[in-house]
Structure 1
Amino acid sequence: MHNPLLQRNATSHMIMIMQPSISLLFQDARDTRLASGQVLFAAGKSVTDIYMVRSGRVHLQRHTTHGAQMVLQNALPGAVIAEASAYSTRYHCDAVAAEESVVAGLPKARFLSALADEPALAESWSALLARSVQAARLRSEIRSLPRVADRLDAWLAEGNALPEKGRWQEMAAELGVTREALYRELSRRRTNNQSL
């Protein structure tokens, strides 16, 4: 019997096994410390470096035409930020530190050269990109749900945990809802003694 959760966990485990070869690329990379809220790069700027999070969290975000902020990637330690930028001349989003963070920056040319020279590394990179596409599709699917309650249920069903109260606004951005709508839903669930 096919179990999607087991498949997803197996895929995540495989990515984690392959990930060290990608992180080895950043072993001697230049570190940059970021304060919470500090911009690492902005949409429209030339892509000169590829970044990996060493510590903290960095959000890849875009602002909608209505002024809302959408988190497209919540990059944790070991994650490459804006993976697709390796194949672009300009960044399409902003990268902002969600908390104090350290990122490793590797010149884009050096990064691409290493992929071209090492087939096993290129294969690991391809697997990481595939997982990134899957995550983006899931985010899109969750954001397409019409009700805030449904979005929250789907997000929690993916193994996510409710962050501490000070970070609910970030979760609202990930879900593609206003913070007020999320707060109302969380309040409704507390009132009805629903588990979170």
Structure 2
Amino acid sequence: MITIMQTSISLLFKNARDTGLAPGETLFAAGEDVADIFMVRSGRVHLQRHTTHGAQMVLQNAGPGGVVAEASAYSSRYHCDAIAAEESAVAGLPKQRFLSALADDPALATGWSALLARSVQAARLRSEIRSLTRVADRLDAWLGEGNALPEKGRWQEVAAELGVTREALYRELSQRRTNNHSL
């Protein structure tokens, strides 16, 4: 049933305006007015904030079929930056059209509610992982959720997802290689 609901949300974006994004390109920035709701067609878009210490914190890692910054549907301004993590294509639907579709279709609204619930669960898991003190424990928990390390040039994305500095992650990965610990 969840797949059917997710499919109906995807269908809502069928005729939406497509935008291509290069790696590192900004889709929207914190503080901008919310005019559109975006769904990732291909690639990955990170919803991120910067801590007071300047570290980048990934709050959402949206892949194909994922809606970026779901809560923005109920906000006047974006609260985070959305940045393409890789070559990406997103579909943008005017916010009012999106909300009208939800109001007019109870099944679609139910699907949207399920998507929001899964988003809350993912945020709680991310918070749980970040509450762990040691980088090794955070990495183990993240890997234990079925994630895999990307190629070496993208490890800083994992550091942002774990809420650690890239240097701390690199030290942990180096120690694991030295100790022949599986990754």
* Structure 2 counterpart of 1:124: 111
Give the whole-Å Cα distance in 2 for the aligned partners of 1:125 and 1:182.
Answer: 35
Give the whole-Å Cα distance in 2 for the aligned partners of 1:150 and 1:98.
Answer: 25
* Structure 1 counterpart of 2:166: 179
Counterparts of 1:66-145 in structure 2 under 5 Å? Answer: 66-145=53-132
The code of the aligned residue for 2:49 comes to R
1:6-37 CA-partner distances (Å, limit 9, x unpaired): xxxxxxxx533421110000000000111111
Aligned-pair Cα RMSD in Å:
0.8
* Structure 1 counterpart of 2:8: 21
The code of the aligned residue for 1:41 comes to F
- Structure 1 unaligned blocks of 5 or more: 1-13
Answer whether contact 2:5 2:107 (CA < 8 A) is retained.
no
Answer whether contact 2:43 2:64 (CA < 8 A) is retained.
yes
Please say if 1:53 is aligned against 2:57. no
Name the TM-score, length of structure 2 as normaliser: 0.98
Structure 1 residue corresponding to 2:52, chosen from 65, 74, 86: 65
* Structure 2 counterpart of 1:42: 29
The code of the aligned residue for 1:50 comes to I
Give the whole-Å Cα distance in 2 for the aligned partners of 1:79 and 1:101.
Answer: 12
* Structure 2 counterpart of 1:6: none
Measure how far apart 1:166 and its partner are.
1.0
Give the whole-Å Cα distance in 1 for the aligned partners of 2:161 and 2:13.
Answer: 27
Q: Report how many residues are paired.
A: 183
Give the whole-Å Cα distance in 2 for the aligned partners of 1:188 and 1:88.
Answer: 44
Task: Summarize the Cα distance change of 1:96–1:18 in structure 2 as closer, same or farther, 3 Å threshold.
Answer: same
1:58-92 CA-partner distances (Å, limit 9, x unpaired): 11000111111001111101000000000000000
The code of the aligned residue for 2:17 comes to R
1:79-133 CA-partner distances (Å, limit 9, x unpaired): 0000000000000000011111110000000000000000000000000000000
Measure how far apart 1:191 and its partner are.
0.7
- Structure 2 unaligned blocks of 5 or more: none
Q: Percent identity?
A: 85
